[in-house]
Every structure is written in C-alpha cells, then in structure tokens.
C-alpha cells in the first residue's frame, strides 16, 4: 500500500475534490474529499482515496463517499471517512466504524490559569500518570464481575455516575448522553467481555492520551463565552476508546460479516468492506454489539475524568467543584448511528458511519444539549502532542453536505514503522520539554510513534473545515503536559 494514488480527481473548489462515479464500474455515488492542495499531496501518498472509491460500492449508500482532510489508509474504509446508508436497503460495515469502537475525545474546562498551573505542571503530570492506568493491555483499578460489566455495556456513562465516578450533569454533555439504547450485551462473545472486564478506567496506548492545555487563541469570543472558555484558561483533554472489548467485538463481527456478504450476494471490491443489510439479523446484531462498546467507552472516559478531577483537587488543595472542572463535551470518533437527515428534500433515517470523523450538529438540533442550542454542538479536534488542539462548533452546512460530520484530528502522515526509523537517535521527550511540554509515557516507543512529524498539521486540517463552513473555529489550545500509554 506504499504507492501513491493516481486516480481521477475533479476540483470543485479550493477545498473540495470529487472522485467521479465513472472511475470504477460499480460505484453508486461519487467520492467527495475535503482538503487543501497541500494536504491533498500528502493524502495521495497512500491508497486512502482508493478506499473512498471502494466505499462508494456499498449497497444503499447515498450522497457521497466522504473523506475529511485528516484521512489516511485504514481497514476497509480510510480513517477520516464518512458514509451514510439507507435503513431499508442499505448495509452496515464494521470497517466503517473501526476496531477501536467509540474512540473519542472529552474536553474539561477549569477556572485555573497558566500562571497557577505552570509551576505545578510536572507534579500534575506525574500524579495523573500514577492515578490513571495506561499502556498496552493495562489493567484498571475497577474490579467488576461479568454481570456488572454487562450493566456497564447497557448503561454507559450513567453506570459510572451512579457509582460516584462524576456528576449528573456530565451525562448531559456527552454525545447520546453517554448511552446508546440499542446495546445488547448478550450479543457479545465471552472473550470480548474477558478483555474488557479488567480494562475499564484505563487510557490504553498508541495515540490515546490525557493532555493538560492552555487556551492560547480565541476565534469567536461570543461562542467561547457561551461554552465557558476564555484565553489563558487551563483545559484538559482525554482521548481513548473501548480498549480490548471494542477491538474484540469488531474482530468477531468481521467473521460474521464475511459470511453475510456471500449469503446476501453483496458484490464488493475489497473483502475488508464486509457488511450486512441493516435489516438483517447480522446487521442488527452488529449494531447492538457496537452500541455496547460505545457505552463501555463512555463509561471509560467518565471514570478517567473523575480521577483527573481528583488529582487536580489534590494538587491545588481545592475541590473539583471549586475548580469549576466541568465537562464541555464528549464526542465519539468511531461509530455508526441511526440519524435523521434531509435527502432530496425529504427527512429520512440513515445509518451514518463515522470512522475517524466527528459528529458536528448545528444550532437548534434536537440531538444536542439545551445549553448549546444557540452555538451548535462543540466539536473537539486534537492535534499531536507537540502542536495544538481545537474546539469548534457544528453548522447547518455540515448537515447539508456531510451528514453532520467533520474531521477528527491531525491524521497520520507516516506509519508507526517510518516514524521509528525517522526518530532514530532522537530524544522526543527532551525535545518536547525544551518546548515547555512535559510528557510521561509507558514506553519510549510510543513517544517516537506519536512525534509531531508523524502527523499532518492539525491547524491545516481544521482550517479546511472552517473555510468550507463545515465547522467553525472557537478556540485553540496548546499542550503543557501529556500522559501517554
């Protein structure tokens, strides 16, 4: 998959490009790519655009096979891909959700300033690293039975809050209020439960992180004020997913879906796009199992946020309430949702696959909290650990063009293997320290794989979304301290 992509690409405008439906016989819709010319050069370097074209073969796909500016090659779908399929004759594809089901981001505000936090940043990072288990296969502090983990899968964030991990209001500021109602734990293998049971409340490894940040730029003061954000304020971002449980659910259902492709006579250009009709037993079962993993991930981030609040309270000799450590929002990245959208002037229910993409609902959408009705849904876009992250808001344009979706991060620019090669002999931790960023990780290897150069520049990615009106910039945050697996 190293060769660059040479297929046809029609320029629509400065930031939008189309793969014509005529590119491959069997494409049901065109491909639509959001990117600047500069980002497009990077995107062409792998086969992500071929995957965009392949996704257009899915039965029941409508509109476009969509790619965000942070796309890169993934399993079946590219990471940074969006596809909507009809409920009646469309399919659901695990490749369109990904292995780390409901990998997502939550942003926590505080009333602390840079002046207050800077002298204690090293202590904070060390204490957070101690309090929050991280790393490959890490096991958590929460000991639960098989019956109890099924409750986690049914109830999501609500399970965590009911057990004292957080505040009632946290639920309101979580996508889906932290719980997809269709979850059915009986459709999950024992192996998936075994993998998930010890890992609740753990950060994991790879690109997952907990980051202490300072808001260093405000683009929209009015919206920022509504969200409770201002320049110089300290925020915390948590990025993690459903751990081994989600990975196992995806692995298990890919086997089911491979058989379903033959059973339902579905023609696909890539076996990794294995899928089943949404109306079929296989399709319904996958959706209900995926919902379990989504709920687990929300509970996971909820627990991590609770311990983060405790650490801040301890370090600053205060309480989380006094520090005003409120959740701004929690968004899912890898998920499929049944949502209502306008299609050819009619309201229809669609299954929207967002793989490495963020929901971006506009002002007054019924699916967002009352508090954000005027502003639109907060959209959280993390960058790499050496640059910056953003908070944006969703727009009506996103509903019209991308099924209420936007980008999810910087997007990898080089493989983990290549990053290791490029960083030979370098001390990434020391380089970041010299930039004023304190980083603590379980392994040196993680820091090398996650170095800034391994990613596209998130500011460039976000600018495309802002310029096209898909989501609007509100504030920018730069990192001060990071913990990684």
Contacts of 52 (CB under 8 A, 6+ apart): 19, 31, 33, 65, 66, 67, 71, 78, 81
Residue 20 burial (CB < 10 Å; 0-12/13-18/19+)?
middle
What's the Cα-to-Cα distance from 297 to each of 45, 95, 194, 200, 332, rounded to whole Å? 32, 18, 15, 8, 9
Closest CA to 156 of 141, 133, 177: 177
Q: What are the backbone angles phi and psi of residue 397, rounded to the nearest 5°?
A: -60, -40
The Cβ of residue 444 has, within 10 Å, a number of other Cβ atoms equal to: 12
Q: What does the longest C-alpha to C-alpha distance in the chain come to?
A: 65
3-class SS of residue 263: helix
Q: Which two tokens stand for residue 55?
A: 């996704």
Q: Which two tokens stand for residue 480?
A: 């001060």
Whole-angstrom distance, CA of residue 307 vs CA of residue 313: 10
β-strand partners of 72: 79
The catalytic residue among 72, 247, 353, 408 is 408
How far is residue 420 CA from its own chain's centroid? 24
Closest CA to 140 of 286, 245, 236, 231: 245
Q: Which two tokens stand for residue 193?
A: 């439960």
Catalytic residue status for 408: yes
Contacts of 219 (CB under 8 A, 6+ apart): 472, 473, 474, 475, 476
DSSP secondary structure letter of residue 123: H
Inter-residue contact 67 to 9 (CB < 8 Å): no
The Cβ of residue 263 has, within 10 Å, a number of other Cβ atoms equal to: 11
Given the structure tokens 């320049």, which residue do they identify? 231
Whole-angstrom distance, CA of residue 160 vs CA of residue 263: 40
Inter-residue contact 93 to 312 (CB < 8 Å): no
Q: What are the backbone angles phi and psi of residue 84, rounded to the nearest 5°?
A: -115, 135
Closest CA to 78 of 338, 406, 354: 354
DSSP secondary structure letter of residue 423: T
Active site residues: 408
């Amino acid at each position: 998959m190293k060769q660059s992509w040479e297929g046809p690409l029609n320029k629509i405008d400065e930031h939008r490009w189309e793969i014509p439906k005529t590119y491959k016989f069997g494409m049901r819709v065109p491909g639509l790519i959001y990117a600047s010319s500069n980002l497009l050069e990077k995107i062409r370097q792998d086969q992500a655009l071929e995957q965009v074209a392949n996704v257009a073969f899915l039965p029941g796909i409508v509109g476009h096979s969509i790619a965000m500016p942070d796309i890169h090659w993934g399993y079946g779908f590219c990471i940074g891909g969006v596809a909507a399929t009809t409920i009646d004759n469309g399919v659901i594809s695990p490749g369109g959700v990904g292995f780390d089901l409901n990998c997502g981001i939550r942003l926590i505000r505080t009333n602390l300033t840079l002046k207050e936090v800077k002298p204690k940043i090293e202590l904070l990072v060390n204490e957070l690293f101690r309090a929050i288990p991280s790393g490959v296969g890490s096991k958590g502090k929460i000991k639960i039975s098989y019956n109890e983990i099924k409750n986690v899968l049914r109830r999501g964030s609500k399970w965590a809050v009911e057990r004292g991990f957080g505040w009632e209001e946290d639920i309101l500021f979580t996508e889906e209020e932290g719980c997809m109602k269709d979850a059915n734990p009986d459709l999950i293998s024992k192996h998936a439960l075994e993998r998930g049971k010890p890992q609740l409340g753990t950060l994991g490894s790879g690109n997952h992180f907990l980051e202490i940040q300072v808001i260093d730029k405000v683009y929209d003061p009015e919206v920022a004020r509504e969200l409770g954000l201002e320049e110089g304020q300290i925020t915390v971002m948590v990025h993690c997913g459903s751990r081994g449980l989600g990975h196992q659910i995806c692995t298990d259902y890919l086997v089911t879906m491979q058989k379903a492709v033959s059973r339902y006579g579905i023609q696909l250009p890539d076996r990794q796009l294995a899928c089943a009709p949404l109306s079929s037993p296989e399709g319904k079962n996958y959706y209900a199992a995926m919902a379990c993993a989504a709920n687990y991930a929300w509970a996971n981030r909820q627990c991590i946020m609770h311990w983060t609040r405790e650490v801040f309270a301890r370090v600053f000799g205060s309480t989380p309430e006094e520090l005003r450590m409120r959740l701004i929002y929690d968004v899912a990245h890898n998920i499929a949702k049944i949502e209502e959208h306008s299609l050819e002037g009619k309201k229809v229910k669609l299954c929207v696959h967002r793989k490495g993409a963020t929901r971006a609902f506009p002002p007054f959408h019924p699916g967002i909290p009352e508090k954000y009705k005027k502003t639109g849904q907060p959209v959280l876009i993390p960058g790499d650990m050496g640059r910056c992250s953003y908070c944006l808001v969703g727009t009506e344009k996103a509903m019209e063009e991308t099924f209420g979706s936007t980008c999810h991060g910087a997007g990898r620019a080089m493989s983990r293997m290549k990053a290791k090669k490029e960083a030979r002999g370098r001390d990434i931790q020391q380089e970041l320290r010299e930039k004023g960023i304190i980083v603590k990780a379980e392994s040196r290897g993680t820091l090398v794989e996650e170095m800034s150069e391994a990613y596209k520049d998130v500011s460039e990615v976000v600018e495309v979304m802002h310029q096209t009106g898909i989501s609007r910039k509100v504030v920018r945050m730069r990192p001060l301290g990071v913990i990684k697996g």
